[in-house]
Amino acid sequence: MSLKPHTQKLSAEDAAHFLRRTAFGATDAQIRALSGRGAADVARQALNFDQRLAADSPFDPSTGATPGAMLQLTRAGWLYELMYGPHPLREKLALTWSNHFVVGTDKVRNHSALSGYLALLRRQAATESFGRFTLEVAQSPAMLRYLDNDQNRKGKPNENFSRELLELFTTGIGHYTEDDVREGARALSGWTFTGGRGNKNFLEKQTFVFNPKQHDTGRKTYLGQTGTFSGEDVIRLASTHPQTAVFISRKLHRAFVADTPDENAVQGSAETFRRSGGNVRAVLEELLSSEVFYASRARIIRSPVEYVVGTVRTLGGPRLEPKQVLALSATAGRMGQELLKPDTVKGWDGGREWINDSTLLLRLQVAAAFTLGKNAPRDTPAPSDLALVGRERSPLAGALSSLNPRQRTYLTLISPEFQLA
């Protein structure tokens, strides 16, 4: 039951929808460039990203004099990449995976661990092997530290990572037992890292190592199978479990289709996930060129980071001073989304949870700073209705017709039509 493809050539509004969902937003020219093209071709091209970064980023976390300064620069550097980098879909996926394979800077305060984690999310953003992706995350120093598997030893198993591997990263709740958690922890024993421990060594490189003396070599029974399983074995068994296909597909639908996705459509993507052996790229190519995707409009509440990034990209990428980017990073945190520091190990809930009286006021202030404030960008034209709300003619056009362009842009940026992607 694969997803039905969108077979018509993209209209301008289709193209705007695609870019609002996959690139946070776009200018009128970028939207028009996709108009008239086939949906499958557009999806494939968007997924053909490489690992280039923005060439002119002013943020170098390795120059941070303290762990706190390094973390500030890391967050600001990622936000800069989200706003100005050459591959917005790669960054959208990296942001999505950071809310799946969660690590947090409350515990992970090492530069190489965080930079390695972000590089991994980008490299595997549209992975052709979810199992390989999961294994690389599991062996990353950032994850080893965050979920304490670096403390997992033979005879003294630490179950934190083993539990979250099943509950949050692969099968989801209800498809494993407590025995699976315990046996998985035994199999994952001996995985740790060297270097970079302690606040004074926050710039020292951390490296994954396997300590065979601390590995439990005994027989284990895991997800219905028995053997002398290693950590690699339990990662493989968990990532290829039939329910993992559904769990991951639902995450992708929440990121690109709707905060509350249609479960029949999720099952269609899960079938593609299983048939392709966990090929996330294949799932995304199908999803981003499907009727389900193009029929779903205004069903995702933009997160704080997506709101900030969407504003910048829709306005044509006005260049901000480094201190402004740092301020926006902090503001996103006050709105509930501090990069690399979700509230809990299960990540941000998203959806309606993004909006309350306090966070909505901060969104108004962000929009005002970009349009009405004394330091608002002056060298870019006001975006079109198509760029702002994905419609050739905004439903707000009549009410806003008597205002000047900056006033119209401000009121549109704070409207539900812009904040819903």
Let me know: does 206 contact 274? Beta carbons within 8 Å: no
331 closest CA partner among 309, 301, 353, 300: 309
Predicted pLDDT at 395: 81
The CA distance from 15 to 386, in Å, is 10
The answer, yes or no, to whether residue 37 has pLDDT greater than 70, is yes
The CA distance from 132 to 370, in Å, is 41
Go through the chain and tell me how many residues it has: 421
pLDDT digits (tens, 9 = 90+) for 102-149: 999 999 999 999 999 999 999 999 999 999 999 999 999 999 999 999
Any residues with CB less than 8 A from the CB of 349 and at least 6 apart, and which?
none
Average pLDDT, the chain: 96
Q: Is the pTM here over 0.95, yes or no?
A: yes
Q: Residue 228: what residue type? A: T
Q: CA 411: distance to chain centroid?
A: 28
The CA distance from 38 to 290, in Å, is 11
Q: CA 242: distance to chain centroid?
A: 23
Band (pLDDT 50/70/90 cuts) for residue 22 is very high
Let me know: does 34 contact 15? Beta carbons within 8 Å: yes
Strand ranges inside 15-98, DSSP E = none
Predicted pLDDT at 187: 98
Any residues with CB less than 8 A from the CB of 12 and at least 6 apart, and which?
31, 32, 35, 386, 392
The answer, yes or no, to whether residue 398 has pLDDT greater than 90, is no
Q: Residue 155: what residue type? A: G
pLDDT digits (tens, 9 = 90+) for 215-259: 999 999 999 999 999 999 999 999 999 999 999 999 999 999 999
Q: 206 is written with which tokens?
A: 């951390």
Band (pLDDT 50/70/90 cuts) for residue 375 is confident
